[in-house]
Amino acid sequence: MPNIRNFSIIAHIDHGKSTLADRLIQWTGMVEDRQFRDQILDTMDIERERGITIKSNTISLPYTADDGREYELNLIDTPGHVDFSYEVSRALASCEGVLLLVDASQGVEAQTVANLYLAMEHDLTIIPVINKIDLPAADVPGVKEQIERELGLDSDHVLLCSAKEGIGIDEILEAIVARIPPPTGSPAEPLSGLIFDAHYDSFRGTVVSCRIFAGQVKPGDIIRLMYHGTVHKVEETGVFRLTREPRKALSAGMVGYLIAGIKTVSDTRIGDTITQEARPAAAPLPGFKEVKPVVFASIYPVGNDDYQDLADALEKFKLNDASLVYQKDSSAALGQGFRCGFLGLLHLEIVQERLEREYNQSIIMTVPGVRYRFTLADGKVITVDNPLYYPDPSSIKGEEEPFIRTSILIPERFVGAVMKLCLERRGVNSRFQYPSPGRVEINFDMPLAEVIIDFYDRLKTITQGYGSFDYELLDYRATSLLKLDILVNGEKLDALSMIVHKDRAREWGVRVCDRLKDEIPKQQFKIAIQGAVGGQIISRSTISAFRKDVTAKCYGGDITRKRKLLEKQRAGKKRMKMVGAVQIPQSAFVAVLKTENE
Partner 1 sequence: MPGKPEESFFMDHSTSSGLYIHIPFCQTKCPYCDFCSITGTGQVADFLAALDQEARLYREQFSAFDSLFLGGGTPSWLTGAQLDQLMNNLRRHFVFAPDSEITLEANPDDLTADKLAHFRDLGINRLSLGVQSFDEAELRFLGRRHTARQTEQALLLIRAAGFTNLGLDLMYGLPGQTLEGWTGTLETALSFAPEHLSCYQLTVADETPLGQRVAAGQLRLPDEETQREFFLLTANFLTARGYLHYEVANFARQGPQAGGLCLYCCRHNLKYWTRTPYLGLGPAAHSFLAGRRWWNISSVAQYCSSLSAGEAPVAGEESLTPEQIRLETLALGFRTREGVSLATLREQPGGDAMVAALTQAGLVRVDGERVIATACGLVVADRLPLGFVGVAGA
Ligand X SMILES: Nc1nc2c(ncn2[C@@H]2O[C@H](COP(=O)(O)OP(=O)(O)OP(=O)(O)O)[C@@H](O)[C@H]2O)c(=O)[nH]1
Can you give the binding site for ligand X, defined by CB under 6 A? Answer: 11, 13-19, 39, 51-53, 79-80, 131-132, 134-135, 162-164
51 or 152: CB nearest ligand X: 51
Residue 446 binding target from partner 1, Mg ion, ligand X, none, CB below 5 to 8 Å by type: none
547 belongs to the binding site for partner 1 (CB under 8 A) = yes
52 or 207: CB nearest ligand X: 52
Residue 552 binding target from Mg ion, ligand X, partner 1, none, CB below 5 to 8 Å by type: partner 1
Query: CB–CB of 573/523 below 8 Å?
Result: no
**Rounded to whole angstroms, how far apart are CA atoms 84 and 82?**
5
362 or 461: CB nearest partner 1: 362
Q: Which one of residues 2, 473, 581, 596 is an interface residue with partner 1 (CB under 8 A)?
A: 581
Listing DSSP states for 357-419 in one string gives HTS---EEEPPPB--EEEEETTS-EEEE-SGGGPPPGGGEEEEEEEEEEEEEEEEGGGHHHHH
Chain residue at closest Cβ approach to ligand X: 80
**Rounded to whole angstroms, how far apart are CA atoms 575 and 98?**
48
CB of 85 to Mg ion, least distance (A): 14
Q: Which one of residues 35, 202, 551, 597 is an interface residue with partner 1 (CB under 8 A)?
A: 551
548 belongs to the binding site for partner 1 (CB under 8 A) = yes
Query: CB–CB of 505/533 below 8 Å?
Result: yes
Residues in Cβ contact with 181 at an 8 Å cutoff, skipping those fewer than 6 apart: 96, 97, 125
- Report how many residues bind partner 1 under the rule CB under 8 A: 45
52 or 225: CB nearest ligand X: 52
Residue 2 binding target from Mg ion, partner 1, ligand X, none, CB below 5 to 8 Å by type: none
**Rounded to whole angstroms, how far apart are CA atoms 58 and 499?**
41
CB of 107 to ligand X, least distance (A): 15
Continuous segment of H or E residues that includes residue 500:
strand 498-501
Residue 282 binding target from Mg ion, ligand X, partner 1, none, CB below 5 to 8 Å by type: none
CB of 213 to ligand X, least distance (A): 27
> 3-class DSSP state for residue 519?
helix
Q: Which one of residues 33, 378, 558, 598 is an interface residue with partner 1 (CB under 8 A)?
A: 558
Residue 566 binding target from ligand X, partner 1, Mg ion, none, CB below 5 to 8 Å by type: partner 1
278 or 545: CB nearest partner 1: 545
Residues in Cβ contact with 411 at an 8 Å cutoff, skipping those fewer than 6 apart: 438, 439, 440, 463, 466
**Rounded to whole angstroms, how far apart are CA atoms 271 and 292?**
14
Binding mask 458-497 for partner 1 (x = CB under 8 A): -------------------------------x--------
Residue 570 binding target from Mg ion, partner 1, ligand X, none, CB below 5 to 8 Å by type: partner 1
CB of 426 to partner 1, least distance (A): 35
Which residues lie across from 374 on neighbouring strands? 382, 399
What's the one-letter identity of residue 212? I
Continuous segment of H or E residues that includes residue 255:
strand 255-259
**Rounded to whole angstroms, how far apart are CA atoms 333 and 355?**
21
36 or 525: CB nearest ligand X: 36
Binding region for partner 1 (CB under 8 A) out of 103-111, 425-433, 520-528, 531-539 = 520-528
Q: How far is CA 156 from CA 8, 69, 170, in A?
A: 21, 27, 18
**Rounded to whole angstroms, how far apart are CA atoms 69 and 63?**
8
CB of 41 to ligand X, least distance (A): 9
* Binding to partner 1 in span 334-353, by CB under 8 A: 334-335
CB of 196 to Mg ion, least distance (A): 16
Q: How far is CA 535 from CA 76, 232, 246, 493, 517, in A?
A: 55, 57, 66, 15, 22
CB of 576 to partner 1, least distance (A): 5
Binding region for partner 1 (CB under 8 A) out of 7-15, 290-298, 397-405, 539-547 = 539-547
557 belongs to the binding site for partner 1 (CB under 8 A) = yes
562 belongs to the binding site for partner 1 (CB under 8 A) = yes
Residue 180 binding target from Mg ion, partner 1, ligand X, none, CB below 5 to 8 Å by type: none
**Rounded to whole angstroms, how far apart are CA atoms 391 and 389?**
6
Residues in Cβ contact with 412 at an 8 Å cutoff, skipping those fewer than 6 apart: 434, 438, 439, 440
**Rounded to whole angstroms, how far apart are CA atoms 292 and 86?**
10
Measured between its terminal Cα atoms, the distance across the chain in Å is 54
Query: CB–CB of 318/266 below 8 Å?
Result: yes
304 belongs to the binding site for partner 1 (CB under 8 A) = yes
231 belongs to the binding site for partner 1 (CB under 8 A) = no
Q: Which one of residues 523, 528, 540, 590 is an interface residue with partner 1 (CB under 8 A)?
A: 523
**Rounded to whole angstroms, how far apart are CA atoms 522 and 545?**
6
Residue 11 binding target from partner 1, ligand X, Mg ion, none, CB below 5 to 8 Å by type: ligand X
Continuous segment of H or E residues that includes residue 483:
strand 481-488
> 3-class DSSP state for residue 225?
strand
568 belongs to the binding site for partner 1 (CB under 8 A) = no
111 or 386: CB nearest ligand X: 111
Contacts with Mg ion by CB under 5 A lie at 17-18, 53
Listing DSSP states for 275-339 in one string gives EESSS--SSPPS--------EEEEEEESSGGGHHHHHHHHHHHHHH-TT-EEEEEEETTTEEEEE
Residue 548 binding target from ligand X, Mg ion, partner 1, none, CB below 5 to 8 Å by type: partner 1
Burial zone of 396 (CB within 10 Å; 0-12 exposed, 13-18 middle, 19+ buried): middle
CB of 52 to ligand X, least distance (A): 3
CB of 16 to ligand X, least distance (A): 3
327 or 551: CB nearest partner 1: 551
Residue 46 binding target from partner 1, ligand X, Mg ion, none, CB below 5 to 8 Å by type: none
CB of 337 to partner 1, least distance (A): 12
- List interacting residues with partner 1 (CB under 8 A): 302-304, 332-335, 489, 523-526, 545-554, 556-560, 562-563, 565-567, 569-571, 573-574, 576-583
